[in-house]
Amino acid sequence: MKSYCNKLGLETGLVSGLRDNPYFSLYFSRLIRKKLLAELRLGKNDRAEETLFLYLGGMKDYARLTLNYPITNRLFWYFSGEYAIFRAQDETRIGQGTNLYGELSYKLRVGYPDYTLRVYTNYGNYSEKNSKGVLQKVSPFLDFKALPEDFLVFGAGLLFGYENRYSFVRVWRPFMSLDLGYNTGIDGFFFGSSLGIGGLIFGQDNLSLSVDYAENMGGVKEGIFNLNLLYRRWY
């Protein structure tokens, strides 16, 4: 029987914050029926970034399934489903949560400058315990919510030049994205944007530099600013 297994891998590292903890991630991907790419990823002690409290002193164990399906050469479907158990970095269990994400994207133009239009929805549901453990140190309040509020997001975005952010390309060129939508968790609109440049360094690789800003996109009413440096090499 022919196997469509793409890859099997293990990632490990150190989550540092209020306490230091080793993290592990095991993933397995398989191409099904020549077009549907499925990946299962299991993580232990991974960094949790759902709220600022979790980012500073929390971590999570999770199981995540992702599916990618090219409906046509221009139309693509993507799904991600995750179940996570959240803990403080002293192993105190904080709660659990489920996150489901679905996206439909269409390439308006193939080849640089490539334009992609996408529509998506994101659902988050969380259940929190009273105990916070060492995470209590990052809040001046005795009673606070470490996990996000439940939310349901409907959004749309336009991507420009994104081949240069993640893929092997020979020329350095800029890329950008813009997202707008409605978030029921905060009962208001959200906004997201990215601007960067990416290209070839040594050959069969990609380096991208970008600035990202997102506001009210999840279960917390906040703005998040990120500077990203991503390097990939293909063998």
Reduce the secondary structure of the chain to three states and give it as a string.
Answer: CCCCEEEEEEEEEEEECCCEEEEEEEEEEEEECCCEEEEEEEEEEEECCCCHHHHHHEEEEEEEEEEEEECCCCEEEEEEEEEEEEEECCCCEEEEEEEEEEEEEEEEECCCCCEEEEEEEEEEEEEECCCCHHHHHHCCCCCCCCCCCCEEEEEEEEEECCHHHHCCCCCCEEEEEEEEEEECCCCEEEEEEEEEEEECCCCCEEEEEEEEEEECCCCCCCEEEEEEEEEEECC
Q: How far apart are CA 183 and CA 90, in angstroms?
A: 33
Q: What is the mean pLDDT of the chain?
A: 88
Mean pLDDT of 169-198: 91
Mean pLDDT of 177-194: 90
In the chain, the percentage of residues whose pLDDT exceeds 90 is 49
Looking at residue 5, its pLDDT comes to: 56
Looking at residue 94, its pLDDT comes to: 93
Q: What is the CA radius of gyration of the chain?
A: 19
Looking at residue 105, its pLDDT comes to: 96
Q: How far apart are CA 36 and CA 42, in angstroms?
A: 20
At 59-75, the pLDDT tens digits run 999 999 999 999 999 99
Count of alpha carbons within 13 Å of 94, Cβ hemisphere only? 31
3 — pLDDT class (breaks 50, 70, 90): very low
At 8-30, the pLDDT tens digits run 888 888 888 888 889 999 999 99
pTM here is 0.84
Mean pLDDT of 189-214: 91
Domains of the chain, CATH where assigned: 5-233 (2.40.160)
At 25-59, the pLDDT tens digits run 999 999 887 789 999 999 999 988 888 888 888 99
